[in-house]
Amino acid sequence: EYVSGALQKTGKKNVVVACRGNTLPVSDIKATIDKEDAVLVSLPCLGRVTMQVLLDMIQNGASKAVLIPCKETFCRFKDGSKVLQSRVESANLMLEDMGLAPGSIEIVKGAKPPAVDKGKCIACGLCVRVCPYGALTITKDEAGKRTSTVDTDKCHLCGLCVATCPQKALTMPEATRSGLQVIHITGV
């Protein structure tokens, strides 16, 4: 009801549903909303969105639903992003069986960890000390120069290292739509 009411009120055709713990930059979410001509719904966990809610969004007025979950390894509810993926697959199959557009629901992923400018890094170790996830270390590069290194599996994309680097050697990747990985789940 909320989604169909928001679509009618705004005249938009699509809905973007984002996890509050998602890891995409705000500018990427705004770009997705603008590109998709969509209303935004922010929820605590997309894994808790039932298949019925996914189907209802499409049946009650949304031409397309774009879902932006959190990073799988950072899900506060453990498997929310994985659960969402299987529900979307099933919902798209059901929508296709009902004669609605296949692939009406898509999942967008793609936030990237910080990049290290090795020319600016002075290996002070401040980023290593402030990272609450232990994702940064000081290593030697091919030339033997000490520099920060980001472990992408441990990184939660919080940006704390970027904010504290005195040399501005750490940066978050450009926030552009082209930097997103769009996963269309239409069936097996």
Amino acid found at 137 = T
Q: Letter for the amino acid at 175?
A: A
pTM: 0.64
**pLDDT value of position 110:** 63
Residue type present at position 39: V
State the Cα–Cα distance between residues 117 and 121, nearest whole angstrom: 6
Q: Considering Cα of 81, then 86, then 87, then 93, what sign does the dihedral take? A: positive
pLDDT at res. 113: 82
Q: Which pLDDT score is estimated for 174? A: 52
Residues 133, 136, 137, 143: what is their CA dihedral angle, to the nearest 10 degrees? 170
- Residue 27 structure tokens: 């500018």
pLDDT 10s digit of each residue in the chain, 188 long?
Answer: 888 888 999 999 999 998 877 666 677 778 888 888 899 888 888 888 899 999 999 988 899 999 988 777 667 777 787 888 889 999 999 999 988 887 899 988 766 788 999 999 999 999 999 999 899 999 998 889 999 999 988 887 777 898 899 999 998 775 333 334 443 333 33
